[in-house]
Amino acid sequence: MTNDKAAPASGSIMVVGGGIAGLTTAIEAAEVGYEVFLVEKNPYLGGRVAQLNQYFPKLCPPTCGLEINFRRIKDNPRIKVFTLAEVEKVSGKPGNYSVSVKINPRYVNENCTCCGACADACQTEVSDDYNLGMCKTKGAYLPFEMAFPAKFVISPQIIGTDDANRVKESCKYDAVDLEMQAKTVDLPVGAIVWATGWEPYDAHRIDNLGFGQYDNIITNMMLERLASKSGPTQGKIVRPSDDKAPESVAFVQCAGSRDENHLPYCSYICCMASLKHATYIREQYPDTKVYIFYIDIRSPGDRYEKFYNKIKEDKNVFLIKGKVAEVSEDPATKNITVVAENAVTGEKIHQTVEMAVLATGMQPTAANAKLPADLKTNDDGFFINDFEKGGMFASGCATKPADVISSNQNATGMALKAIQTLVKR
Amino acid sequence: MDKKYGVYICEGCGIGESLDVKALCGVPEEEGVPVKTHPFLCGKDGVELLKKDIADGTNSLVIAACSRRVNFDIFRFDGCIVDRVNLREGVVWSHPRSEFPALTEEEKEDEDNFDRVQMMAEDYIKMGMIRVEKIKLPEPYVVENLSRKILVLGGGITGMSAAIDAAKTGYDVTIVEKTAALGGYAAKVRKQIPVSAPYDALIPPVVAAKIAEVESLPNITVKTETEVARIAGQPGEFTVTLKKPGEKIPFDVPFPLPPEMKLDENGKELDAEKQHEAYLAYNEGKNDILQLDPNGELFGAVILAAGWRPDKLKGDQYAHLGYGELPDVITNHQFEEIAKAGKIVRPSDGKAAKSVVFVQSPGKGESDSDFAYAGAVTSMVSLKQAKYVREDYDDGKAFIFYQHMRTPGFSELFYKGLQQDPGIFMTKGAVMSVAKNGDGMIVDAENTLLGEKLQVKADLVVLGAGMVPVTNDDPVINLAYRQGPGFRDIGLFNGYVDSNFICFPYETQRTGIYAAGAIRRSMTMEEAIEDASGAALKAIQCLESVNRGVSVHPRSGDMTFPDFFFQRCTQCKRCTEECPFGALDDDEKGTPKPNPTRCRRCGTCMGACPERIIGFADYNIDSVGSMVKAVGVPSEDDYSEPPYRILGLVCENDAYPALDMVGLNRLSYSADVRLIPIRCLGSMNVIWIKDALSQGMDGVFLLGCKHGDDYQCHFVKGSELAEIRMKKIGDALASLALENERVAQFEVAIDDYDKIPQIINDFVESIEALGPNPFKGF
């Protein structure tokens, strides 16, 4: 090793996925001194955590850490970010890959100043993916306030319409390029880290829990958006049927998780997430009752345990050991009745609430979308790392269900594994 | 460098429509500084204009356009000083003309009229101009004898994994292990929990393979029966003294004086020299921290992987479980020792233990908590150990009583597998008592899933005791730092060396020293192995950053470092004491000795210094103070009803981005405030507040992060320290005959942009209620 200012080995690393794990892997590797390509399919970085209102157990906004990470990217020319991009093909071997990355058109070029005139001019509204389709956004939009890169996006849905022209004309800076086409770039890299993350398990598939059937049954991720200022209700938690502030809310734990018919594993985060959600509700509504139906409360570690103990002290939060077996709706009030068996007393509980939240679990993104690379997965679609082979690794929730802390520990370590591939070459 | 100035005003994004840009140009023109305007400065043409001027010699640019958080790459010019004046988010977007109308031509004719928004923009340009005048381009701090060697403390599974990972990346590693052999706790277990499918059987310990790998790697040195006497110096050049465990040597690290010994018999604090005498007496036979061991070994970074010890269960709270009284009530650790030695037998008489009860939660019916320091690990250990019973005896029975079965993630699959075993009974339940019953025991449980009351005959009762981090007993790292030998105990982690940051799990308050494994959280071996890789990366990253002369997280890449003007130091030690990272060591007189590579560039020392002798190349007392003084403070000599002037010092990490969001959302706040971003509220020096008030500004507020147990300050205590300083400012205000209410501090989170306008406006209103600063106009 020479005593110069460069990194100890040459070569680049590609990180696929710009969520918290991918960001961590990319930035940590780049701060050692390596060139990193960060490929993200959304028009913005941050992934799932960018959709969260707060983190447990500190109840702090994820944008706080994202802001620091974005600044680290801004200050580090070694990181090249590709948004709206997907890996199409990987060829080669550890230490020497060629990756084809398809970059989808944003229809907005680098001239965009983020002034917002295009959104003002656009008349069409499209489904707001960032808000899980719970509301609409303009066809020319900034995904959310803190989005990075801070550039607008034009939905392909308005391309070819009058609106597209209106949007183009509204831009004083010639930033709208309606002719923009998808393009493919080939990048040579020595190692690839797949940080493709997770998706909330599709609650429609859990027949007995009534999602999609009854208006006032929502998922935990939807509640994150409801509680968030940048969400569809500007942070007001209201039930979907009539926008009423709920006076009672039930949480159905293990909605899909720990269930052979759905996800056999425990999704790690849902207990802590629901305890956190109880704080969202209790802060907005001092009298609202919260019922949490669980099998076991999994609050691993000192800090999580402390958080659980704090929530337990709240007289309006009721923790009931029992798995919810069925739900029903009163068509007149749109209230939901959840039926569970109290595991300890054996009695059947019928609890009627104004809104129910399904604590749906984590499914690896790769379970539903096969990646163009030779990677081993387990039966549930999580990647199994092969450190002997090296070259390609998975980090974060692509490898196992995990919270943000463990994901980031894992993602930091995977940056090192990627660097090792370059050193070995 | 000879500075050649240039001011560039962008007219895009509404700036040109809202402001009288021609009038703004008058600000630099008056100072003889060239100024140019452009309708779209971040566009290709605009950047060309800047580049051309730079080619012609301009090297100190004031770019009055958008926030520095955007177009960061476009307006970065190597070798140039650049200040970004935030006219867009900070002035025109957050002060729309619909609410703050411009003066009509007619109004302009009367000199008693003024345009608040225009005034704001003019002030910000003046502030930017003085800043580029006052700051310098940073030059990196380079250590003289950079060592790229990594020291790993602990030869258990975590330490070995970290060492292997660093060695495989090309770095030399030394493992220091207190005992006679590598392996740690991992070498003491019979088997491990499966980590991949199928989850139905235990796996043999992985530790032997790890030891073999450590021994096979030529760049790993192993030192057994060794511990750290002291680690002195700083990242990149730590001087480490090693010793045999238990040995007493002159380079054992001295401990700081306990607070009570810093006082004289009347409770008054001793002066620096007296304190030093007391300190020497307290540490008799030990060399001072500033004395470097000439025979010490140099290392660049340290990984702390010293692990855990089994908790010793003491006290009445376990009396109902018979622990300490009944010989066959043991801990999970004792059980593992028995299992490792052979078949599961009772300690009392060596007879086969075929009925074993595992207790996870000691709190009877009153608490559903597991044993202290349990995490999720003890649940999994009980499953593993239940399996041992079944491995040893076909007719063996294991009963696990738990309040919550903690098998998160994939370990659920192992739990599920065990549920199929007819000899393993698992139930939620409160264990009420364990009592002697013939030559065995009887366990009473209540509220179980199998019935309201349950009695189980047991040969052996196993308590799921937790994993105590060894840092609970001993600092281990023995840092020769003035702040003390261990990680700073901020009372949050119960003895663990954990990070308070969810996003940044490897953050510690001791730069260059990274914790991994069970010392930071109770974790399984699988998790510890993974954690070790991350810590190895951080150690490597730290020494490569030192090599480049830049800071590590969160100001990664920052080349500045604190510079001290020692002639004026009064040895008050505040900088040494307040630094969140222990970067400063003072000498016997109390003069601070900086250790730049320990520093994270927050500026807390600069904020603490009453003599104002600490500063950074691009951020110092003078640069910010001059910006404060550049703010125009109109008085009754200027206008019959002059506007108020209020200064806001805002944390650049959270509050400043939130203010940008205020602009982006076109929310608005008073145009009478002037905001200056600062690195951290910890770097806030009260002189800025005094300067502001003595030049007639009417009030000052600070906007910073939340503090307390769930603090969000990226530098740990910045906002808290600022609050303490603010409390002390009352006397100074009283001497100026000013009300305390003229200064205030507000806590905001980065997503509080919706609340900020109200916070600012309410403060402005409260100042207006107090009336103008009587010093105005003097």
Contact criterion met (CB below 8 Å) for B606 and B621: yes
Rounded distance between C-alpha atoms, residue A327 and residue A339, angstroms:
6
pLDDT given at position B451: 77
Reported residue count of chain B is 778
pLDDT given at position B271: 86
A413 and B653 within 8 Å at the Cβ level: the answer is: no
Mutation for B interface: A4, A113, A228, most B CBs within 10 A? A113
Q: Which residues contact B727 (CB under 8 A, 6 or more apart)?
A: none
Smallest CA–CA separation between A299 and chain B, in Å?
A: 8
Does position A297 have pLDDT exceeding 50, yes or no? yes
What CATH number is attached to the domain comprising B596? 3.30.70.20
- The residue type of A171 is C
Closest CA to B611 of B631, B634, B592, B627: B592
Does position B259 have pLDDT exceeding 90, yes or no? no
Render the burial of B387-410: b for 16+ CB within 10 Å, e for the rest.
Answer: bbbbbbbeebbbbbbbbbbbbbbb
B42 shares contact with chain A (CB less than 8 Å): yes
Sign of CA dihedral A157, A163, A166, A167: negative
Contact criterion met (CB below 8 Å) for B81 and B137: yes
Average model confidence (pLDDT) for chain B? 95
Maximum C-alpha span of chain A: 76
For residues B684-700, give the mean pLDDT: 96
In a domain, B145, yes or no: no
pLDDT given at position B494: 87
Partner residues linked to A309 by β-bridges: none
- The residue type of B363 is G
pLDDT given at position A1: 34
In a domain, B558, yes or no: no
DSSP state, B90?
A: I
Q: What is the pLDDT of residues B503-546, one digit of tens each?
A: 999 998 999 999 999 999 999 999 999 999 999 999 999 999 99
A310 shares contact with chain B (CB less than 8 Å): no
B40 and A172 within 8 Å at the Cβ level: the answer is: yes
pLDDT given at position B469: 96
For residues B559-588, give the mean pLDDT: 95
Give B-chain residues touching A146 at CB under 8 angstroms. 657, 661, 750
Of the pLDDT bands very low, low, confident and very high (cuts 50, 70, 90), residue A8 is low
Give A-chain residues touching B557 at CB under 8 angstroms. 31, 72, 75-76
**CA closest to A379 among chain B residues:** B197
Does position A25 have pLDDT exceeding 90, yes or no? yes
Q: What is the ipTM of this complex?
A: 0.96
- The residue type of B136 is K
Q: What is the pLDDT of residues B366-385, one digit of tens each?
A: 999 999 999 999 999 999 99
Contact criterion met (CB below 8 Å) for B649 and B658: no
Closest CA to B306 of B468, B161, B498, B155: B155
Render the burial of B614-634: b for 16+ CB within 10 Å, e for the rest.
Answer: bbbbbbbbebbbbbbbbbebb
DSSP state, B255?
A: P
Contact criterion met (CB below 8 Å) for B759 and B746: yes
Tally of CB atoms within 10 A around B359: 29
B534 and A412 within 8 Å at the Cβ level: the answer is: yes
Same domain, B196 and B105: no
Tokens of A366: 């790769």
Same domain, B448 and B529: no
Same domain, B97 and B198: no
Of the pLDDT bands very low, low, confident and very high (cuts 50, 70, 90), residue B599 is very high
Smallest CA–CA separation between A414 and chain B, in Å?
A: 7
pLDDT given at position B272: 82
For residues B722-746, give the mean pLDDT: 90
pLDDT given at position B200: 86
Does position B193 have pLDDT exceeding 80, yes or no? yes
Same domain, B62 and B77: yes
For residues B12-30, give the mean pLDDT: 98
Contact criterion met (CB below 8 Å) for A300 and B448: no
- The residue type of B6 is G
**CA closest to B147 among chain A residues:** A3
Tally of CB atoms within 10 A around A325: 13
In a domain, B553, yes or no: no
Q: Which of B178-181's residues contact partners 24+ apart within 8 Å by CB, and which partners?
A: B178/B225, B178/B226, B178/B227, B178/B245, B178/B306, B179/B155, B179/B224, B179/B225, B180/B224, B180/B225, B181/B155, B181/B224
Same domain, B208 and B341: no
Rounded distance between C-alpha atoms, residue B646 and residue B772, angstroms:
11
Partner residues linked to B386 by β-bridges: none
Give A-chain residues touching B14 at CB under 8 angstroms. 115
Name the residue with tokens 């992060």: B705
**CA closest to B468 among chain A residues:** A302
Does position A3 have pLDDT exceeding 60, yes or no? no
Q: What is the pLDDT of residues A360-385, one digit of tens each?
A: 999 999 999 889 998 999 999 999 99
Residues 91-150 of B with CB under 8 A from A: 146, 148
Q: What is the pLDDT of residues B220-252, one digit of tens each?
A: 999 999 999 999 999 999 999 999 999 999 999
Given the DSSP bridges, would you call strands B451-458 and B297-299 parallel, antiparallel or unpaired? Answer: unpaired
**CA closest to A343 among chain B residues:** B449
pLDDT given at position B676: 98
Same domain, B422 and B495: no
Using a 10 angstrom Cβ sphere, with 0-12 exposed, 13-18 middle and 19 or more buried, the burial of residue B349 is: exposed
**SS3 label, residue A421:** helix
Render the burial of B595-610: b for 16+ CB within 10 Å, e for the rest.
Answer: bbbbbbbbbbbbbbbe
Same domain, B603 and B592: yes
Residues 366-395 of A with CB under 8 A from B: 378-379, 384
Domain that holds residue B427: 314-465
Of the pLDDT bands very low, low, confident and very high (cuts 50, 70, 90), residue B365 is confident
Of the pLDDT bands very low, low, confident and very high (cuts 50, 70, 90), residue B489 is low
Measure the CA angle with vertex B12, ends B6 and B14; round to 5°.
125
Using a 10 angstrom Cβ sphere, with 0-12 exposed, 13-18 middle and 19 or more buried, the burial of residue B341 is: exposed
Sign of CA dihedral A129, A133, A138, A143: negative
pLDDT given at position A35: 97
| B67-to-A268, A405, B83, B555, B664 alpha-carbon distances in Å | 39, 31, 10, 18, 11
pLDDT given at position A222: 98
Q: How many helices (H) and strands (E) does chain A have?
A: 9, 22
pLDDT given at position A425: 67
Rg (CA), chain A: 23
Rounded distance between C-alpha atoms, residue B192 and residue A116, angstroms:
57
pLDDT given at position A364: 98
Given the DSSP bridges, would you call strands A317-321 and A289-294 parallel, antiparallel or unpaired? Answer: parallel
| B755-to-A237, A327, B378, B660, B668 alpha-carbon distances in Å | 18, 39, 44, 13, 11
Tally of CB atoms within 10 A around B17: 12
What share of chain B in percent tops pLDDT 70?
A: 100
Same domain, B230 and B324: no
Q: Which residues contact A85 (CB under 8 A, 6 or more apart)?
A: A39, A40, A41, A101, A102, A103, A104
What share of chain A in percent tops pLDDT 70?
A: 98
pLDDT given at position B488: 75
Same domain, B71 and B18: yes
Number of structural domains found in chain B: 6
What share of chain B in percent tops pLDDT 90?
A: 90
pLDDT given at position B454: 94
**CA closest to A46 among chain B residues:** B503
Is the domain spanning A202-360 CATH 3.50.50.60? The answer is yes
Rounded distance between C-alpha atoms, residue B522 and residue B516, angstroms:
11
**CA closest to B89 among chain A residues:** A115
For residues B580-590, give the mean pLDDT: 93
Same domain, B328 and B431: yes
**CA closest to A313 among chain B residues:** B367
In a domain, B144, yes or no: no
| A313-to-A279, A306, A308, A319 alpha-carbon distances in Å | 12, 11, 9, 11
Does position B357 have pLDDT exceeding 50, yes or no? yes
Rounded distance between C-alpha atoms, residue B488 and residue B469, angstroms:
15
What share of chain A in percent tops pLDDT 90?
A: 94
Render the burial of B635-647: b for 16+ CB within 10 Å, e for the rest.
Answer: eeeeeeebbbbbb
What CATH number is attached to the domain comprising B293? 3.50.50.60
DSSP state, B393?
A: -
B170 and A401 within 8 Å at the Cβ level: the answer is: no
Rounded distance between C-alpha atoms, residue B527 and residue B210, angstroms:
15
Smallest CA–CA separation between A333 and chain B, in Å?
A: 34
**CA closest to A20 among chain B residues:** B503
B537 and A28 within 8 Å at the Cβ level: the answer is: yes
Rounded distance between C-alpha atoms, residue B668 and residue B726, angstroms:
27
Q: What is the CATH number of domain A12-104+182-198+363-424?
A: 3.50.50.60
Closest CA to A249 of A336, A340, A345: A336
For residues A227-244, give the mean pLDDT: 97
pLDDT given at position B273: 84
Same domain, B379 and B346: yes
Does position B449 have pLDDT exceeding 70, yes or no? yes
Same domain, B630 and B768: yes
pLDDT given at position B401: 97
Closest CA to A139 of A127, A128, A130, A126: A126
Rounded distance between C-alpha atoms, residue B281 and residue B288, angstroms:
11
Give B-chain residues touching A264 at CB under 8 angstroms. 412-413, 416
Give A-chain residues touching B554 at CB under 8 angstroms. 68, 72
Closest CA to A319 of B416, B317, B428: B428
A265 shares contact with chain B (CB less than 8 Å): yes
Tokens of B408: 């998160």
pLDDT given at position A346: 81
pLDDT given at position A2: 35
- The string of DSSP codes covering B595-659 is -GGG-----HHHHH-TT--EEBTTB-HHHHHHHHHHS----TTT-SSPPP-EEEEEETTTHHHHH
What CATH number is attached to the domain comprising B119? 3.40.50
B196 shares contact with chain A (CB less than 8 Å): yes
* φ, ψ dihedrals at B555, nearest 5°: -95, 50
Smallest CA–CA separation between B163 and chain A, in Å?
A: 12
* Domain(s) of CATH 3.50.50.60: residues in chain A: 12-104+182-198+363-424, 202-360
Of the pLDDT bands very low, low, confident and very high (cuts 50, 70, 90), residue A4 is very low
pLDDT given at position A7: 60
Closest CA to B92 of B21, B5, B1, B167: B21
Rg (CA), chain B: 32
- The residue type of A192 is I
- Please name the residue ranges forming H helices in B19-61: 21-30, 44-55
Q: What is the pLDDT of residues A269-279, one digit of tens each?
A: 999 999 999 99
Of the pLDDT bands very low, low, confident and very high (cuts 50, 70, 90), residue B737 is confident
A63 and B665 within 8 Å at the Cβ level: the answer is: no
Give A-chain residues touching B40 at CB under 8 angstroms. 111, 113, 172-173
